[in-house]
Chain A
Amino acid sequence: MSQPFRLDHGGRVDRDTPLQFTFDGRPIDAFRGDTVASALLANGVTLVGRSFKYHRPRGIVSAGAEDPNAFVQLGHGARTLPNRLATVTAATPGLKVRHVNAWPTLEYDVMSAFGLVAPFIPAGFYYKTLMWPRRLWPLYEHFLRHAAGLGHAPDAPDPDRYDHVHAHCDVLVVGAGPAGLAAARAAARAGARVILADEQAEAGGSLLSTHERVDGLPAPRWADATTTELAATRGVTVLPNTTAFGLYESNLVLLAERLITDQPDSAGSENGARVWRVLPKQIVLATGAHERPLLFANNDRPGVMLAGAISTYVNRYAVAPGSRAVLFTNNDAAYRTALDLTDAGVPVAAIADVRSDPAGDLSSEVRAQGIAVHAGAVVRHAQGGRRVAAVELCSLDGAPLGAVECDLLGVSGGFAPALHLHAQARGPSEWDPTLAAFVPRGANGIHPAGAVAGQLGLADALRQGTQAGSTAAAAAGCSNGSDLEVPRANESTQAFIQPYWLPPGGLARAKPQFVDLHEDVTLDDLRLSLREGFESIEHVKRYTTLGMGPDQGKLANPLATGVIAELLGRDPASVGTPRHRPAYSPVSLGAIAGRHIGPLADPVRVTPMQDWHEAAGARFENVGQWRRAWYYPQPGESMHEAVARECLAVRHRVGILDYSTLGKIEITGPDAGEFLDRVYTNAWKRLRPGRCRYGLMLGEDGMIFDDGVTARLDDQRYLMFTSTSNAAPVLASLEQWLQTEWPDLRVYLTSVSEHWSNIALAGPRSRDVLAAAGTDIPLDRRDFPFMTFRQGHVAGVQARVFRISFSGELSYEINVPADCARHVWEALVDAGRPFGITPYGTETMHVLRAEKGFIIVGQETDGSVTPDDVGLGRLLSRRKDFLGKRSLSRPDSVRPDRKQLVGLLTDDPNQILPEGGHVVDSPGPRRPLPMRGHVTSSYFSPVLGRSIALAMVTGGRAALGERLYVATLHDNRWLPARSCHPVFYDPEGARQHV
């Protein structure tokens, strides 16, 4: 293709390196140095998208990150990125670019037919219309989602790499325009460690689009030389293609660095990305300013562009964005564009200037070129369908001044500082009437410089940037006393602005005037919002969706401030802007996730026996971060069959369980017993060394927090077992009490969960197995009774053996150093073979403990359960205080209708109740049915040959044997059951004492 709108000479594109990419499958010729937008314009492509709500044709508006229209989809398949701006995406060979938000094609969009039925959807439409009738919402939603798509996600895992970088520096400079380059240079020369980040592929910013000179060099060459100097300076990091998208407390700045390659077929030229978390000592904010659009009817037509963007396309990319231009302005900037167009051979048909007396050098220069300047005139209507064909001018009071044919309309409503980052961190700003915009004030180590600080002239920006860089370096402790060297440029007078927000009245309603092009928010929408009482700019935003698009309202919000102020007759300073929030520009989810995906998303914890469990065919379940053996099916066995086999093996012979995941905390020191007395509900000081005791720990609210066995290893040393998932919270809580309330106690806490593995032998033959494996610990029941602890050797390894039981059977929990655990496990399995030893998993463990009515914290309890509720009132000491004791006498803790732990036996012994199922008195017709409680645990008990369940039921303990019903979760049935004592098996506890 011939690139019909490419200028014959000039620009920074490399004409010796042509390349080709595709837009909607159509080949587009470009040069290295082009953006996707500049190449599309060079090829005469003006229609790049359809608008969000009305699917109106839209074109390129800007040459930067502020564009509301130029969102495209890059790449394809697994390597694709939605919501990328054509205006900041470098054109690379083979790149696949697609439009978003039009269906089936950009040229013939079905949804624009919507506009024929309901020409304009007023603000609040979604709230008012689509919510009623409610049953039709799914239909509306389907329709809207199809209509309002904004690109699509990759169809396979992204093969590119994403990473996070943590960095520190003395001075972070955001933006590499004139002020940013000058600041980075001054800071670097003062010896500061500097990071310079810029969202574009090359540093320079506005320097790359101007004919002015700096230090005697053409501005782009000065930018190149300065960037080269910086890149070669030790301690300076220059990051192109990097957007600072968030500024947080403590001045943490997040940068998104897009990694660009020239490889064909790469994801929109991006091969992954890095998010930098930078903690600079000082920040120079040189983020520039965004030109403000102006309101008139059909101001969204392709061909309507920001005046400054036109200059950028002409000067930097050597592209004429049209063949006959009109400019509409309220300040001097558009006159510079008129001269740039004229230089490039593009005729300028007229300038409409809001101001009655546009005087000054630039205006004289323009008039000298013979360009018609209409003072006190505005554009009130852009004619044309898919492109501007002509503009209608009128005076400020609405008197028609005729139409002018053109295919390009450049607008300039002044400049609004890009203070987004500053405002994200709640930095102060104030209304500057000469700019008619909010300007940030420096604070807390942030130094605004250049256009963002209201310095629109080149010489001023260079001077302020140099000063800011030097000040920031000094504040960061870097100063070598060298003189400040300010880059020289021609002084220019600041252009004066005549604010112009509202067009003259009298326009037909069918002619929309868009305040927010991306969100299709019109002037009428703002009027409606104010009329209905939504006057705060935050309310206007929520009511109209103003500024809610992926462009974050960069062009819309500054315009809306002025419009709303004028509609309300208020000072713009009091109207403000909607709160700025990260991210400044869209950041890919891959970059945010970094390496925290797949197996690295969360640590996986396994015990030393993990390989053995896998080889034995175990199925696993996740308990927190732990992988625990769930059950060990033999070939052909269902889970039900496997669990039944494992349960019966423990009840009749012997089973072996890997219980290494239990939390273990060593509590040492002279006051360890006193400490346990305070944190447990029962008494500890008189527990003799070598003995174990079950303990219950409450929160100060009196609710059960954790339970477990603690053993007194010797006089000043205890070992506390916690539940698997509560290991860290219990340790944290104990530490907090010790450090903040009882620093006088001489107690030391050490987590040893990972150091000691725990192997449980359970079943009537477990003593035989332990003996056969070889131990020097006397195992006779008189020497080693229930609830005691012995130290010795097992299978040649030093071991702590606890005679405690979570199954109700004769049981030994054998703690050995984790390094030796696999050896001891295998020795026990070998020794147990003659006795029919059976490995069992967590499911069997749960069935066995439920048969015994043992609670599990977090299953029977939920943070609202007291010890008495679960029948453990006997563990509450009357003679001492303990955490939560006072709460147990609060009126709510002694309510007679509290839920209490009971057993449930279904009428049908094969019916297994659903855990979580609601318990009611009778499934009568009354709705809602009063709830008596809920099922907490439910299993089939192989040893009893029937189902069992535990439940929390109001007043349940006093009414054992009562008829209750449990609701099924999915099919609306009621299952009859009777309550019973919650211990189903061996209620006397004889078996664990043998």
Chain B
Amino acid sequence: MLLIPCPWCGPREDDEFTFGGEADFPRPAEPEALTDEQWADYLFMRDNRRGRHREQWCHTAGCRRWFIVERDTVTNEILGAGTYGGSP
């Protein structure tokens, strides 16, 4: 079980949340300008890091806000949480 610190609601059990994969994969501003390889890279390729990992979580069964969690993928230790732009 992970205790995930929602920036708006505080720490909650992980079954209230949805995992959204790695963070920091912004949608390209001009998709049509990309080559097939560049678009495929955005679409399919993720780093799957060992260790510190920034990832997206949504407090689905709570405030329904998406936010960013930094987690150690080896120990599952949660190192911090941040919001998208707005402050909690």
Interface of A toward B, CB cutoff 8 Å: 248-250, 252, 279, 426, 700-701, 732, 735-736, 739-741, 743, 881, 885-887, 890-891
Contact = CB atoms under 8 A, between A and B. Distances in A.
A885 B27 CA distance: 12
Nearest to A425: B76
B26 interface: yes
Contacts of A891: 36
B34 A886 contact: yes
Contact of B58 (A252, A426, A736): A736
Contact of A743 (B2, B31, B40, B86): B86
Given A700-B43, A701-B43, A741-B26, A885 B31 contact: yes
B84 A739 contact: yes
A886 B65 CA distance: 28
A890 B40 contact: yes
9 contacts: A249-B76, A252-B13, A426-B75, A701-B43, A735-B66, A743-B86, A881-B30, A881-B31, A886-B31
B1 A739 contact: no
A884 to B, nearest CB: 9
B51 interface: no
Nearest to A890: B36
B52 to A, nearest CB: 16
B39 interface: yes
A250 B2 contact: yes
Contacts, number: 51
From A249, A252, A279, A735, residue with most partner B Cβ within 10 Å: A249
Contacts of B3: 249-250, 279
Contact of B1 (A248, A740, A886, A890): A248
Nearest to A678: B27
Nearest to A249: B76
Interface of B: 1-3, 13, 18, 20, 26-27, 30-32, 34, 36, 39-40, 43, 56, 58, 60, 64-66, 75-76, 84-86
A732 B34 contact: no
B81 to A, nearest CB: 14
Contacts of A249: 1-3, 76
Q: State the 8 A-B residue pairs at the shortest beta-carbon distance, nearest first.
A: A886-B31, A250-B3, A252-B1, A739-B66, A249-B76, A248-B1, A743-B85, A886-B39
A887 B43 contact: yes
Nearest to A735: B64
Contacts of B75: 426
A740 B2 contact: no
Contacts of A885: 31-32
A426 B77 CA distance: 12
Nearest to B42: A700
A626 B65 CA distance: 26
A122 B54 CA distance: 49
A739 B39 contact: no
A741 B27 contact: yes
A445 to B, nearest CB: 12
A739 B65 contact: yes
A732 B84 contact: no
| Of listed A250, A426, A735, A890, residue having the most chain B CB within 10 A | A250
B34 to A, nearest CB: 7
Contacts of A700: 27, 43
A250 B66 contact: no
A736 B66 contact: yes
Contacts of B31: 881, 885-886
Contacts of A881: 30-32
A890 B26 contact: no
B1 A250 contact: yes
Nearest to A749: B64
A890 B20 contact: no
A250 B12 CA distance: 11
Contact of B39 (A252, A741, A887): A887
B1 to A, nearest CB: 4
Contacts of A252: 1, 13
A886 B66 contact: no
A740 B36 CA distance: 24
A417 B13 CA distance: 31
A426 B76 CA distance: 11
A966 B29 CA distance: 46
Nearest to B74: A426
Given A739-B66, A739-B84, A886 B18 contact: no
Nearest to B3: A250
A732 B86 contact: no
